[in-house]
């Protein structure tokens, strides 16, 4: 019998429960057909949690997140909670999960599916076969640095933030990038602004030293963030793994995401450091898209980003590469057969509902044997 694999499922708000429901069905199928041993517990986060508990995530849920082998999150937020105090708004639940679980490495793949090449605004020959992984440092940098705030100096108002990184913070996220590259095409591009920022000079020095000491078998390059943004649009195929700081990662990952033509198709993973005693790596997986409250409950939501987030969970939290490949191939097959939810619908394709897409993916998994 397979060792139990404990998943905390946090559907969240808007379309979150619908897309998460399709993943729950896939997990049930994997338990029944493959003996995968997943044990799933559901709880509240975001606006749905605020409506019940008056906060975006409870201490009890945080304890479950720390104890779980992996967390799978749907989406949070919506106009219903726009006037809630900032510390209790839906997004505060997501930020607390990331911060308290110390999920410092955000993995954002930019993958172009063959069947969706025409959805990209770039020429097919530019994006065909595109497969990039952006590793964004998630818990430090300018978003968290001190001092920050506003001040009045000589009668003039100022707003300020501090970009600051420690050597360990850079080394740990760079290690994630190098390890990923070893399993991919063996190339890492480190991105900063060393030409104008002292923190960029420091970032480059630390990444270079780590590469020399521990990863000489991986090809390392360096690029300024503004040039990287241009190169992502000009020739994205040159990249394999990009590692960068919190601010630039925020910008570049969204830029890379749109190369694929559909933000609603993209998964993500946020990983922490391996526990020396248990060997467990804290991890949370979530689709890149938002809660889309305007279509919630209508069966129109695309579940594929959440399904692919589950695939990333299989790969990175449970070392189930074969099962992840099977799920990824099932998604490819469904798209190749022309099945589409409304957000990716095009001429000549067949429109399906949220559950219809889930049914199709399970059918393809069964067919793959």
Give the residue extent of every domain in the chain.
1-104+272-369, 107-262
Catalytic residue among 131, 143, 161, 280: 143
Is 343 one of the annotated active-site residues of the chain? no
Could you report the per-residue pLDDT of 249-308, keeping only the tens digit for each?
999 998 988 888 777 788 999 999 988 888 889 999 999 899 999 999 999 999 999 999
Specify the length of the chain in residues: 369
Could you report the per-residue pLDDT of 24-76, keeping only the tens digit for each?
999 999 999 999 999 999 999 999 999 999 999 999 999 999 999 999 999 99
CATH classification number, 107-262, choose in 3.30.710.10, 3.40.718.10, 1.25.40.80, 3.90.1150.10: 3.40.718.10
Is 254 one of the annotated active-site residues of the chain? yes
pTM of the shown model: 0.91
Contacts 24+ apart (CB under 8 A), 319-325: 320/36, 323/30, 323/34, 323/36
Catalytic residue among 102, 131, 161, 250: 250
Is 151 one of the annotated active-site residues of the chain? no
Could you report the per-residue pLDDT of 99-123, keeping only the tens digit for each?
899 999 999 999 998 888 888 888 9
Q: Which two tokens stand for residue 269?
A: 């993973």
Is 59 one of the annotated active-site residues of the chain? no
- Reduced to 3 states (helix: H, G, I; strand: E, B; else coil), residue 351 is strand
CA nearest to 33, candidates 362, 286, 285, 345: 362
Is 250 one of the annotated active-site residues of the chain? yes
Catalytic residue among 43, 193, 215, 285: 193
Topology match between the domains 1-104+272-369 and 107-262: yes
CATH number of 1-104+272-369: 3.40.718.10
Could you report the per-residue pLDDT of 140-163, keeping only the tens digit for each?
999 989 999 999 999 999 999 999
CA nearest to 307, candidates 366, 343, 365, 361: 361
């Amino acid at each position: 019998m397979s060792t139990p694999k404990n998943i905390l499922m946090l559907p969240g708000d808007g379309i979150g429960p619908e897309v998460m429901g399709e993943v729950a069905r896939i997990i049930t199928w994997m338990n029944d057909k493959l003996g995968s041993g997943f044990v799933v517990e559901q709880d509240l986060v975001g606006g749905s949690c605020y409506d019940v508990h008056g906060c975006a995530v409870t201490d009890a849920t945080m304890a479950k997140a720390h104890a779980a082998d992996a967390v799978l999150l749907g989406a949070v937020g919506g106009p219903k909670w726009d006037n809630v105090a900032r510390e209790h708004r839906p997004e505060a639940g997501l930020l607390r999960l990331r911060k308290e679980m110390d999920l410092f490495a955000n993995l954002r793949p930019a993958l172009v599916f063959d069947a969706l090449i025409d959805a990209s605004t770039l020429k097919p020959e530019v994006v065909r076969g595109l497969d990039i992984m952006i590793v964004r440092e998630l818990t430090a940098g300018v978003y968290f640095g001190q001092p920050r705030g506003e001040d009045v100096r000589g009668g003039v108002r100022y707003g300020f933030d501090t970009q600051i990184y420690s050597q360990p913070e850079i080394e740990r996220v760079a290690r994630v990038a190098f390890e990923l590259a070893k399993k991919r095409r063996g190339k890492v591009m480190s991105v900063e602004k060393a030409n104008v920022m002292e923190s960029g000079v420091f970032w480059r020095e630390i990444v270079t030293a780590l590469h020399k000491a521990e990863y000489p078998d991986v090809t390392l390059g360096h690029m300024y963030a503004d040039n990287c943004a241009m190169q992502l649009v000009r020739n994205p195929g040159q990249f394999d793994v990009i590692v960068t700081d919190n601010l630039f990662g925020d910008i570049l990952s969204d830029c890379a995401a749109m190369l694929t033509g559909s933000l609603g198709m993209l998964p993500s993973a946020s990983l922490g450091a391996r526990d020396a005693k248990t060997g467990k790596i804290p991890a949370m997986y979530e689709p890149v898209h938002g809660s889309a409250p305007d279509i919630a409950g209508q069966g129109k939501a695309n579940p594929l980003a959440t399904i692919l987030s589950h695939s990333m969970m299989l790969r990175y939290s449970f070392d189930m590469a074969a099962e992840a490949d099977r799920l990824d191939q099932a998604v490819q097959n469904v798209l190749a057969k022309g099945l589409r939810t409304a957000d990716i619908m095009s001429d000549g394709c067949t429109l399906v509902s949220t559950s219809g897409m889930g049914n199709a993916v399970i059918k393809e998994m069964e067919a793959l044997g």
